[in-house]
């Protein structure tokens, strides 16, 4: 079990090194979330892996690199697609939750 996790981590590291050496865009090759903020009112997330929690003041999104927590007020999920989503409202904070 321990060995499997170790192997996984090594594969990720190897991938990262290859991507960096070849100068690939990381979001495409590694599946990292790509986030765009428009002021405080709009947010555009690509490469998400699903919605974990949704309340008007807090949204938790699953991403490749961990859990992304967005805090704000009266937030709505304006558009929701398999790989991208669009939040509007009053965004006050953006955090990565360490597992």
Partner 1 sequence: MLWNYLCGYVIIQIEGLGLERFINRMLEAGLPIWGIRREDGGAMTASVSIAGFYALRRLIRSEGWSVRIREKHGLLFRLSRLRRRKVLLYGWAPTLMALLCLSRMIWIIDITGCDAVKEETVRQAIHAQGVYPGVARRGHTVETLQSAVEASDARISMASVTISGVVMRVEVREAEPGPAVQDDSVPAHVVARRDGVILSVTALKGHAVVKEGQLVRAGDMLISGDLTREGGEPLFVHARGQVLAETVYTADVTHALGETALQTAAKRAMDEVDTAAAIVEKSSRTILLPDGNVRAVVVVTAREDIGKTKELE
- Judged by CB, which is closer to partner 1: 12, or 53? 53
* DSSP labels, the chain: -HHHHHHHHHHHHHHHHHHHHHT--HHHHT---EEEEETTTEEEEESEEEEEEE-SSEEEEEETTEEEEEEEEEEEEEEE-SSEEEEEEEEEEEEEEP-
**Should residue 82 be labelled a site residue for partner 1 when binding is judged by CB under 8 A?**
yes
Could you say whether residue 54 binds partner 1 (CB under 8 A)?
yes
Q: How far is the CB of 90 from partner 1 (least distance, A)?
A: 14
| Footprint of partner 1 on 19-38 (CB under 8 A) | none
Does position 78 bind partner 1 by CB under 8 A?
yes
76 binds partner 1 (CB under 8 A): yes
Quote the least distance from Cβ 57 to partner 1, whole Å: 9
Interacting residues toward partner 1 by CB under 8 A? 50-56, 76-82
């Amino acid at each position: 079990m321990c060995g499997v996790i170790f192997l996984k981590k090594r594969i990720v590291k190897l991938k990262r090194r290859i991507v960096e050496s070849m100068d690939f865009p990381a979001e495409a090759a590694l599946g990292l979330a790509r986030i765009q903020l428009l002021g405080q009112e709009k947010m555009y997330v690509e490469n998400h892996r699903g919605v974990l929690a949704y309340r008007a003041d807090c949204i938790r999104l699953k991403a490749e690199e961990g859990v992304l927590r967005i805090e704000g007020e009266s937030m709505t999920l304006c558009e929701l697609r398999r790989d991208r989503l669009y939040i509007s409202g009053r965004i006050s904070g953006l955090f990565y939750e360490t597992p």
